[in-house]
Amino acid sequence: MDKDVITIAGQKIEEAAILRFSIIAGISLIIMVFILIVLSVVSMVKIKRLNEKYTVFMKGADGKDLESAIFSRFKDIDKMKADIEYMSRKLNIACETLLNSYQKMSIIKYDAFKEMGGKLSFSLAMLDDKNNGYILTSVHTRDGCYTYVKEIIKGESFVVLAEEERKALEDAKNKRNYMA
């Protein structure tokens, strides 16, 4: 028999192969032990942090103190719910108020008497959510300024509108309703 060959379970294996296998197995074991040590340290750090949090949570607290703290938080939550309901009611009132306010407006500026007064005349349409409101028209001349108001109901006027007033009304009706 050769010195370099060993028979194990009826098979011939060289000593060099056994040595290589032993080295690889040893290195693998060392790496696995190192990984286990790192995992153990990480676990211990996490357990320590959890213990610290638990200690702070339970500090000076017996069952009765803990119960009163929980009930105190429940009271705070109930107060917040009541506050939210109150603010919600107030917000609904504000929204209703805004729906009735003038939110769609358009102004058309023009020269009422071609080249005599400049573009100082205007028609201003102011409408609410339901297209109710007014058209305010101001006609400027060299002699003075005349102002007229025409009521608008559901987007229609019962008084004849001038061309500029009709344009202001249509522009206002086509404006986006920001409350819808």
Q: In what order do the strands lie in the sheet with 156-157?
A: 104-110, 121-127, 133-140, 145-153, 156-157
Query: Which tokens sit at 180?
Result: 């819808």
CA atoms within 13 A on the CB side of 6: 8
- What's the pLDDT at 180? 54
pLDDT of residue 52 exceeding 70, the answer is yes
Q: What is the average pLDDT score of the chain?
A: 85
Q: Which amino acid is at 49?
A: R
Burial class (CB in 10 A: 0-12, 13-18, 19+), 74: exposed
pTM, two decimals, is: 0.51
pLDDT of residue 8 exceeding 80, the answer is no
Mean pLDDT of 55-75: 76
Mean pLDDT of 144-173: 90
pLDDT of residue 179 exceeding 70, the answer is no
Q: How confident is the model at residue 64 (pLDDT cuts 50, 70, 90)?
A: low
Highest mean pLDDT among 12-16, 41-45, 96-100, 116-120: 41-45
Q: How confident is the model at residue 63 (pLDDT cuts 50, 70, 90)?
A: low
Beta bridge partners of 20: none
Residues 6+ apart with CB under 8 A from 179: 95, 98, 99, 103, 129
Cα–Cα distance for residue pair 102/90, rounded to 1 Å? 20
Q: Give tens-digit pLDDT for 37-50.
A: 999 999 999 999 99
Helices (H), the chain: 15-58, 63-99, 163-173
